[in-house]
Structure 1
Amino acid sequence: MVRSRTAVLTWASAAALAVATVLATAPVAAAEPATTAAYPAGATATRYSGLAFDACTAPPLTTIRAWTASPYRALGVYLSGVNRTCAQPQLTASWVASVSALKWRLLPVHKGLQPSCGARASDAKISTSATTARSQGTAAATQAVTAAKALGMLPGSALYNDIENYSQTNATCRTSVLSYVSGWTKELHRLGWLSGVYMNLSLGAKQLADVYTSTGYARPDALWVARYDGVDSLKGWAGVADGKWAVHQRAKQFRGGHDETYGGVRVNIDTDRLDTPVATVAYPYRTTAAVTARSGPTTTAAAVTSYARDATVRVVCQTSGPKVGTSTVWDKLNTGAYVADHYVDTPSTTSWSPPLPRCTYPYQIASATGVTERGGPGTSYTALGTAPNGALAWVTCQKSGTAVGGTKVWDRLDNGHYVSDHYVSTPSGTTYSKPVPRC
């Protein structure tokens, strides 16, 4: 990602300070390092595991179609930032919708201020003041969210801040970078988005790993490293222990700029291996009959609104619920309401319909020793494994169970296991946390 990219957005330090002033009186998400993501009603997270590429300029839709012959099904797009340099004529809400409909996932990148002791001399830089750097990170998050929303991306998406190489021996510079990333993370969480960071493995990522449990910095949800060694493994990273960012929280750019050709179309790309959260979008479908949208994925949940036959609904994810017609699948809409999939013209009438993701709400594990995953919502259920500190708990629903640390709430994960909500950085430490549904 060190290739040149022309500035498209401007940086206004006065605006950054104004944002910081407003936020000084705003609610704080939670104490570092595991800050709470405040997902709004229509949010969900989307995950991708597989090969991806990123190009300086988002390719035309014709190229994406041609590249169905490639091994890639995800691509990085540069949506904002003062140091973003390539023009993005293709990157529109229509392009995002069309690419998503072709079952591609998107990895949104913000290339904003860069370290004062690294990157290019011409780049706009992060302040050497830790306090100002934190405010700049907050403003960067606001800018990236605004750009992502304009492209049709939704809360629950992961946004990645591109931080290029910097000196590892300059303590002032290092502290300002960590403060900037912390401000970025806390503000994204406050707005209901996931925080990702891109760094060189040896010239940045190790420093982030060193403060993984620090109470002075908010911890990002996902780490995307650059190391051009041709090895696409997401484990065995020098300086970053395998237990950090361990549960679908890693990506690696393992080959730098080079040309590849598929379907007769050549593109200059970087190559990545991902197992990480990406962008969430809504997919338009039509109702096949008059249907009631409800506050939860069940026929007993309160009615929110109704849709006539042939109405367009925007589905963000699918989850399980009581069987209606031939299916136990329920569709969550961008409004936060749910409708039985039986009444929506998704591809499958009996099961899940790609590219729709399953509804999940990732929160970081906040326990120094990790948390035990169990077969049910209680301490008497069989232990099935351990999720390490800082790992993402990919929560699908919540259920009452054995009391632990002042709460009876247990979180069901997307692997079917349960963990006590006491050890998860959900908004409430004592009761259910919206918008997570009940199991």
Structure 2
Amino acid sequence: MAARHTILRAAAVLGSSLAILVAGLTVPAAAEPETPVLYPSGSTVTRAVGLGFDACTAPSLAALQAWKGTSPYSTVNIYFGGNNRACAQPNLTSSWVRDAVAGGWKLLPTYLGYQPYCMFGDKPNLFTADNATARGTSDAGDAVTRAKALGLLPGSALYADVEHYDRAVSSCRTAVLRYVSAWTKKLHQSGYLAGVYVHQDSGLRDLSDSYSSTTYARPDAVWMARWDGNSALTGWPTAPNSHWADFQRAKQYRGDHDETWGGVTINIDSDSLRAPVATVARTYRVTSSTSLNARTGPAPTYPVVRSYSPGASLSVMCQTTGQQVHTTSVWNRLTSGAWVSDYYVSTPSNTGFTQVLPRCIYPGQVTTTSLNARTGPGTSYAITGSPLPRGALAHVMCQDRGSTVGSTRVWNKLRDGRWVSDYYVSNRSSSTWSAPVPHCP
């Protein structure tokens, strides 16, 4: 993108017996490449599907309102930090983030920090193979601080912008892999997913070539730049479809052009997404005539941690299925990590899920070559759907006990209703429950 990207300018669980799910399974990775995300209780992952756009400066809320419903876009990129960020961001505040999301937009957060020393372009702040790990760690730490200040909650995917570079320089390729690995590990330790924006002929190629390397932590998602007008998220020439296969891809398919929607013109790049994006809370209110109890889990049997008075505001992150209360089994997770029944909250429905709120999910990368998903929590249940390839995000919604696999009886229920053994998912533990994932009702 013209002023934005130079990238295209340059061209409690028992048992230890092993239950085999599929042939060729290996034990879970202890570290690289599938490092676990340490989700805090006040977190969830949000996914975006469809078209998005990025502009150098975050548009005004009025511009976003004009584009909403008139344009084909539903996600907008934000350059939220980095010492190589070129454009001023007068609009980008926590209130802008809150109001943009309330207006129906999803946000794709991008951090333009240190760049490879062999990059094509003239960014002033560069990293080498010797300092790439330190630079990646410091950039990720700064990104987390800035994300939190804007209200981008843990579970958000933060994307490091790595500009196009000269792959003929072998030490520079090493530098990029070290930087992205450090970025990924630091974000995971802080409760965030790690994404990276890369050129198809440099960063994407090198990350794909090192996809199963035990030397580097693998990012959770890739956003690839290729201005060919094709918005497809498969069939990429420098990464097979089995890499970053499950809600882990975005593509910048058209660069630097003006579009006018609702009478407002913005210079943009165009993107397609099936990927994790920012998690931002929405505000609702208590509708009950008496105090509403917030609990440690999605059922009235869990301990009360706080009570909210009638009419009080609630910061809701996501929804899940829990124990039925009156007409609904939907429960809302608050930014505090506590749960309240949706029946007593001013969401549009007190019988079902609210479309604009994400389901509560806590993904971890698959640690084996091919992981079968089943109709229930055990190896006796039928296999259903396609296996999850290594590195795919298992979008875990809740956990339950099932048959023993490796060192655990914990099974994960995925967002699509299928089940996989937790032994092969890079959550906090391969032997017991992984907080803050709720137990299945």
Specify the TM-score bucket, using the shorter chain as the normaliser: over 0.9
Are residues 1:286 and 2:285 paired?
A: yes
What is the CA deviation profile of residues 321-348 of structure 1, one whole-angstrom value per residue up to 9, with x for unaligned ones? 1211221110000000000000111111
Instruction: Report the Cα distance in structure 1 between the residues aligned to 2:4 and 2:300, rounded to whole angstroms.
Output: 54
Name the SS for the 2:416 alignment partner: coil
Instruction: Report the Cα distance in structure 2 between the residues aligned to 1:4 and 1:431, rounded to whole angstroms.
Output: 44
Closer/same/farther in 2, CA of residues 314 and 180 from structure 1, 3 Å limit:
same
Q: Contact 1:32 / 1:216 at 8 angstroms: preserved in 2? A: yes
Instruction: Report the Cα distance in structure 2 between the residues aligned to 1:122 and 1:39, rounded to whole angstroms.
Output: 34
Instruction: Report the Cα distance in structure 2 between the residues aligned to 1:238 and 1:170, rounded to whole angstroms.
Output: 21
Question: Structure 2 length as normaliser, TM-score?
Answer: 0.92
Question: 1:50-61 residue pairs with structure 2 within 5 A?
Answer: 50-61=50-61
Name the SS for the 2:222 alignment partner: strand
Partner of 1:404 in structure 2? 405
Partner of 2:299 in structure 1? 298
Partner amino acid, structure 1, of 2:233: L
Partner of 1:245 in structure 2? 244
- State the Cα distance separating 1:354 from its structure 2 match: 2.6
Partner of 1:14 in structure 2? none
Partner of 1:377 in structure 2? 377
Report the aligned-residue RMSD: 1.3
Q: Which is richer in helix?
A: 1
Closer/same/farther in 2, CA of residues 374 and 224 from structure 1, 3 Å limit:
same
Partner of 2:193 in structure 1? 194
Instruction: Report the Cα distance in structure 2 between the residues aligned to 1:291 and 1:348, rounded to whole angstroms.
Output: 17
Closer/same/farther in 2, CA of residues 345 and 318 from structure 1, 3 Å limit:
same
* Higher mean C-alpha displacement, 420-429 vs 347-356: 347-356
Are residues 1:416 and 2:412 paired?
A: no
Q: Which runs of 5+ in 1 are unaligned?
A: 7-28
- State the Cα distance separating 1:351 from its structure 2 match: 1.1
Partner amino acid, structure 2, of 1:262: W
Partner of 2:66 in structure 1? 66
Instruction: Report the Cα distance in structure 2 between the residues aligned to 1:402 and 1:261, rounded to whole angstroms.
Output: 56
Closer/same/farther in 2, CA of residues 5 and 276 from structure 1, 3 Å limit:
closer
Are residues 1:119 and 2:120 paired?
A: yes
Partner of 2:430 in structure 1? 429
Instruction: Report the Cα distance in structure 2 between the residues aligned to 1:119 and 1:92, rounded to whole angstroms.
Output: 31
Q: Contact 1:103 / 1:354 at 8 angstroms: preserved in 2? A: no
Higher RCO, 1 or 2 (CA under 8 Å, sep at least 6)? 2
Partner amino acid, structure 2, of 1:386: P
Partner of 2:22 in structure 1? none
Partner amino acid, structure 2, of 1:333: L
Are residues 1:161 and 2:160 paired?
A: yes
Instruction: Report the Cα distance in structure 2 between the residues aligned to 1:302 and 1:164, rounded to whole angstroms.
Output: 49
Q: Contact 1:58 / 1:77 at 8 angstroms: preserved in 2? A: yes
Partner of 1:264 in structure 2? 263
Name the SS for the 2:395 alignment partner: strand
- State the Cα distance separating 1:429 from its structure 2 match: 1.1
- State the Cα distance separating 1:202 from its structure 2 match: 1.1
Partner of 1:135 in structure 2? 134
Instruction: Report the Cα distance in structure 2 between the residues aligned to 1:194 and 1:4, rounded to whole angstroms.
Output: 22
Q: Contact 1:372 / 1:383 at 8 angstroms: preserved in 2? A: yes
Question: 1:209-358 residue pairs with structure 2 within 5 A?
Answer: 209-289=208-288, 290-358=291-359
Instruction: Report the Cα distance in structure 1 between the residues aligned to 2:128 and 2:336, rounded to whole angstroms.
Output: 39
What is the CA deviation profile of residues 137-157 of structure 1, one whole-angstrom value per residue up to 9, with x for unaligned ones? 011101111111111110000
Q: Contact 2:427 / 2:434 at 8 angstroms: preserved in 1? A: yes
Q: Contact 2:129 / 2:178 at 8 angstroms: preserved in 1? A: no
Partner of 1:44 in structure 2? 44
Instruction: Report the Cα distance in structure 1 between the residues aligned to 2:428 and 2:314, rounded to whole angstroms.
Output: 29
Instruction: Report the Cα distance in structure 1 between the residues aligned to 2:209 and 2:406, rounded to whole angstroms.
Output: 29
Q: Which runs of 5+ in 2 are unaligned?
A: 7-28
- State the Cα distance separating 1:5 from its structure 2 match: 7.9
- State the Cα distance separating 1:204 from its structure 2 match: 1.8
Partner amino acid, structure 1, of 2:261: Y
Partner amino acid, structure 1, of 2:308: Y
Q: Contact 2:176 / 2:203 at 8 angstroms: preserved in 1? A: no
- State the Cα distance separating 1:203 from its structure 2 match: 2.2
Partner amino acid, structure 2, of 1:302: P
- State the Cα distance separating 1:303 from its structure 2 match: 1.3
- State the Cα distance separating 1:119 from its structure 2 match: 3.4
Partner amino acid, structure 1, of 2:31: A
Instruction: Report the Cα distance in structure 1 between the residues aligned to 2:65 and 2:80, rounded to whole angstroms.
Output: 21
Partner amino acid, structure 1, of 2:67: W
- State the Cα distance separating 1:304 from its structure 2 match: 1.2
Instruction: Report the Cα distance in structure 1 between the residues aligned to 2:2 and 2:162, rounded to whole angstroms.
Output: 10
Partner of 2:151 in structure 1? 152
Are residues 1:104 and 2:105 paired?
A: yes
Partner amino acid, structure 2, of 1:215: T
Question: Structure 1 length as normaliser, TM-score?
Answer: 0.93
- State the Cα distance separating 1:4 from its structure 2 match: 5.1
Instruction: Report the Cα distance in structure 1 between the residues aligned to 2:5 and 2:437, rounded to whole angstroms.
Output: 39
What is the CA deviation profile of residues 200-222 of structure 1, one whole-angstrom value per residue up to 9, with x for unaligned ones? 11122111100000000000000
Q: Contact 2:222 / 2:250 at 8 angstroms: preserved in 1? A: yes
Partner of 1:391 in structure 2? 392
Instruction: Report the Cα distance in structure 2 between the residues aligned to 1:260 and 1:311, rounded to whole angstroms.
Output: 41
Name the SS for the 1:79 alignment partner: strand
* Higher mean C-alpha displacement, 44-53 vs 344-353: 344-353
Q: Contact 1:248 / 1:276 at 8 angstroms: preserved in 2? A: yes
Instruction: Report the Cα distance in structure 2 between the residues aligned to 1:159 and 1:114, rounded to whole angstroms.
Output: 16
Partner amino acid, structure 1, of 2:279: T
Partner amino acid, structure 1, of 2:230: V
- State the Cα distance separating 1:30 from its structure 2 match: 4.8
Instruction: Report the Cα distance in structure 2 between the residues aligned to 1:2 and 1:62, rounded to whole angstroms.
Output: 24
What is the CA deviation profile of residues 402-434 of structure 1, one whole-angstrom value per residue up to 9, with x for unaligned ones? 000010000000000000001000101100010
Name the SS for the 1:173 alignment partner: helix
Closer/same/farther in 2, CA of residues 4 and 331 from structure 1, 3 Å limit:
closer
